[in-house]
Every structure is written in C-alpha cells, then in structure tokens.
Amino acid sequence: MQTAALDARLDVAAIRGRFPALARVHEGRPVAYFDGPGGTQVPRAVADAMTDYLLHHNANTHWKYPSSEETDAMIEAARDALADFVSGDASEIAFGQNMTTLTYHLSRALGRKWGPGDEIVVTELDHHANVDPWKWLAKERGVTIRKVRMRTETGDLDPAYLERAIGKRTRLVAIGGASNALGTINDVRRICSMARDAGALAFVDAVHYAPHVLPDVAEIGCDFLACSPYKFYGPHLGVLWGKRALIDALDVPRLEPAPDWSPERLETGTLSHEAIAGAAAAVDFLAGLAGGAASGRRSALEAAYAGLHARGARLFARLWEGLGRIPGVTRYGPPADARRTPTVSFVVAGRGAHEVAADLARRAVFASSGDFYAWTIVQRLGHAEDGLVRAGCAIYTTDEEVERLLEGVSEAASRR
C-alpha cells in the first residue's frame, strides 16, 4: 500500500501541475526544460513561502518585536529542514549567497593555518567553484595544489592519480559529489575515507549531487558539504554544512559585533531571508512527495528520492540511447547503466554547441550550452572553443519531452 501511494504521488502529471513555469509556451509549443543542471524550475509552494515571508514577516534578525522574532524562528526552522536534507544538525547549517561565495569564505578561513609545504587536492572533474577557491590559497598562502586527472574516455577520475595525490602533506581534499557536465557520480565515501586516513579534511561539493542522490554527511564521512537549493527546486541560495567543532574552531573573517556562535559565525551580513524560507519549502516539497509512505522528514525524503531516482534513470536511458543512434552525435560521460545522474553533455559534428541549443530552443526545448564552469572538462575533451550541449532530466521531465529533444538534435545533426 505504501509503495502504491508513493507511485501515485510521483505521477509526473501531478508533479507538473505544481510548477507554474511549465505552462510557458514558446514558438507555439509548451516549453520542455532540460536546463535543470543549471537551475530547476520551482513549485508554487516555494514561491508561496517566499511571498508569505516578504509580505507578512519581513524584518531583520534578533530584535524584540514580532516580525523579527518570526524571522528568527523561520531561519531556525529552515536550518532544521536543511539539516534533515543532509542528515546533519541544525547548528551545522550556514546560509550564503551561493555555494561559490561560501566556499571562498571557508577556504580563506581554513587557509589561515596553512602555508608552504601544505597541499590541497582538487580534481579535473569538478565545477571550478570547487577548484578556484582552493587554488587561490596557492597565491595567498603558498600552499601546493594537486589536481587529480579525469579519464576522458570514461568521464571519471583516474584512481592511480587519486592514490598518488593524497598523502601526508595533504590538508584538504575537495571533491565533487557528481559532475555537473558529465553526470559522473564519484565514490565520495571512499575518497573522504582516504582523506581521513591521511589526516586531511574533506570538502564535498554536492551541488549537482544533491538533486539526484540524497546527501548523508555521516555516511559520506566528510567534514564540510555545500549545496545549492536552486538545483533542487528552490531559490538561488547557498547552503554549507560543517562539523560543529570545526565551525567553532575556524578563524573566520567576520565583523566584530557579528554573532560568534555556530553556525552564524560563517554567515556574513544580512542574508536573503525570503530565499531561506524558499529553501525550506523546497525540502518540504520533496519530502511531501512520499505522502503517507514514510514518517518523519528524513524518512520521507529517502522514500521520495528512491522513487525519483528510478524514474530518472529510466528517462535518462531513453535519452542516452536515443542520442547514441543519431549520426554525428558524440556523447560524453559514463553510460546509462553506470552510477550517474540523469545529465548528459554532447556535441554534434559540424555544428557549434550554441547553434544546436538555439535550434532546440526554436522547438521550445531549453537546453544549456557552453562550459558550465566545468572548464577543465571541456578543455580536456577538446571543445574549449564552443563548449558542449547539456541536457538533464528533472522531476517534471516526460517521455514526450525526451522524444522532442531527440527529434531536435536529429534535425540539427542533419543540417551539418
């Protein structure tokens, strides 16, 4: 009965009815959004939570009047929601403008204790938001950056490079949970264990991972994890989880009168309170998909993710196999039956990536093109000049939309 109830809740037509953006028409056709890896659409419940906060509770924090106290309560409730999302504690959840800003802030705080002789491990497979904030410490503090190579033929990390990169001088391993360009899911649990065995910290960029694999910071074994709610049906915001003892010990650049307790000591200035309200609503939207199939927010999230993963994998297999049948199309990343996200990047021989994306847009199929800040991947694949076309399946993607995308790519390929 519980499985049947969950299947009903995950019916794509019912889910799509919650997303006003899906009513958009372009060139006489409803829009098919395949741009989720760069930012998903939001359900009405998220927008309603943001609007309700702005219209009825808008205030700054920590003052003794009702709307300020309501703001404080909303932020604490949001910390609870995001803590359930990553399976951490509310006192370990910090908010910021975006993941990149939070990572730069954290890197400077950690880097105050590091210098020449210390090493940080990054990878070629990562979004540069999990590369460049750490690379700056080479300039600012004299640390050494070691970069783990990706294997272009398989779209994953070279295990031999990984083994050699982590050693007794390693102070931090910065690893992406999943590649936003190729869909590769890394074995973050193993890599964090390798960092721990070397006496190093582990930072996980879960921005592309969290929409498809529910994070569990205890199971992963990381010290810090960052994600972005706008990739899982929320507003533009960054979220950072860190172990409480580490947050308390950080020498964080901060204003002297600002709160000096965890997690607020990681937050700078006045935050986007409406976005925080929306982020909590996004978590509750996902948990709500489980309906009566689970009790408790975390259990509900686990149940919903299990169902969503199965449907996403089926859709992606259709997309991956369909692209493979089109002459002139080259796909990148692990095959459909690998452990991966439902995101693919590809090129069409004789056509630029932006040209192909424009062709698709004329069919009301919205897909992104370029480097997606996964700049090293694009360089290694030999497409630095024009980049790749990227398409990702989301919670609202349908079989018909996948077919429209394939038809559009096939037509683009025929015009080369």
- Residue ending a domain, among 253, 285, 317, is 285
Q: Is residue 35 part of a domain?
A: no
pLDDT at residue 364 tops 90 = yes
| Span 60-118, pLDDT tens digits | 999 999 999 999 999 999 999 999 999 999 999 999 999 999 999 999 999 999 999 99
- Residue ending a domain, among 285, 313, 333, is 285
Written in H, E and C, the secondary structure of the chain is CHHHHHHHHCCHHHHHCCCHHHHCEECCEECEECEHHHCCCCCHHHHHHHHHHHHHCCCCCCCCCHHHHHHHHHHHHHHHHHHHHHCCCHHHEEEECCHHHHHHHHHHHHHCCCCCCCEEEEECCCCHHHCHHHHHHHHHHCCEEEEECEECCCCEECHHHHHHHCCCCEEEEEEECECCCCCEECCHHHHHHHHHHCCCEEEEECCCCCCCCCCCHHHHCCCEEEECHHHCCCCCCEEEEECHHHHHHCCCCCCCCCCCCCCHHHCCCCCCHHHHHHHHHHHHHHHHCCHHHCCCHHHHHHHHHHHHHHHHHHHHHHHHHHHHCCCCEEEECCCCCCCECCEEEEEECCECHHHHHHHHHCCCEECEEECCCCHHHHHHCCCCCCCEEEEECCCCCCHHHHHHHHHHHHHHHHCC
Q: Is residue 107 part of a domain?
A: yes
- Residue ending a domain, among 227, 254, 285, is 285
Region 328-346: mean pLDDT is 96
Q: Is residue 72 part of a domain?
A: yes
| Span 117-146, pLDDT tens digits | 999 999 999 999 999 999 999 999 999 999
Give the pLDDT band of residue 6 (cuts 50, 70, 90). Answer: low
| Span 367-383, pLDDT tens digits | 999 999 999 999 999 99
Same domain, 8 and 125: no
Which range marks the domain in which residue 212 is found? 48-285
Q: What is the pLDDT of residue 7?
A: 57
Region 10-32: mean pLDDT is 95
Q: Is residue 296 part of a domain?
A: no
Cβ neighbours around 248 below 10 Å, total:
14
CATH value at residue 101 = 3.40.640.10
> How far is it, in rounded angstroms, from Cα 82 to Cα 200?
26
Q: Is residue 197 part of a domain?
A: yes
Same domain, 136 and 237: yes
End-to-end CA distance of the chain: 52
> How far is it, in rounded angstroms, from Cα 324 to Cα 389?
14
Same domain, 279 and 135: yes
Same domain, 156 and 274: yes
Q: Is residue 342 part of a domain?
A: yes
Region 374-393: mean pLDDT is 96
Give the pLDDT band of residue 400 (cuts 50, 70, 90). Answer: very high
Mean pLDDT of all residues belonging to the chain: 95
Same domain, 121 and 234: yes
Q: What is the pLDDT of residue 1?
A: 36
Region 313-330: mean pLDDT is 97
Cβ neighbours around 203 below 10 Å, total:
28
Same domain, 242 and 275: yes
> How far is it, in rounded angstroms, from Cα 404 to Cα 365?
7
Same domain, 169 and 311: no
Same domain, 281 and 306: no
| Span 277-300, pLDDT tens digits | 999 999 999 999 987 555 799 999
Q: Which of 284, 292, 287, 316 is closest to 304 using CA atoms? A: 287
Q: Is residue 43 part of a domain?
A: no
CATH value at residue 402 = 3.90.1150.10
Q: Which two tokens stand for residue 410?
A: 């096939």
Same domain, 384 and 310: yes
Angle at 345 between CA 341 and CA 351, to 5 degrees: 165
Answer whether 0.75 is exceeded by the pTM: yes
Same domain, 227 and 365: no
The torsion angles phi and psi of 174, rounded to 5 degrees, stand at: -105, 110
Q: Is residue 292 part of a domain?
A: no
Q: Which two tokens stand for residue 384?
A: 């630095």
pLDDT at residue 8 tops 90 = no
| Span 168-211, pLDDT tens digits | 999 999 999 999 999 999 999 999 999 999 999 999 999 999 99
Same domain, 168 and 243: yes
> How far is it, in rounded angstroms, from Cα 6 to Cα 304?
7
Q: Which two tokens stand for residue 326?
A: 């089109």
What is the domain count for the chain?
2
Same domain, 96 and 194: yes
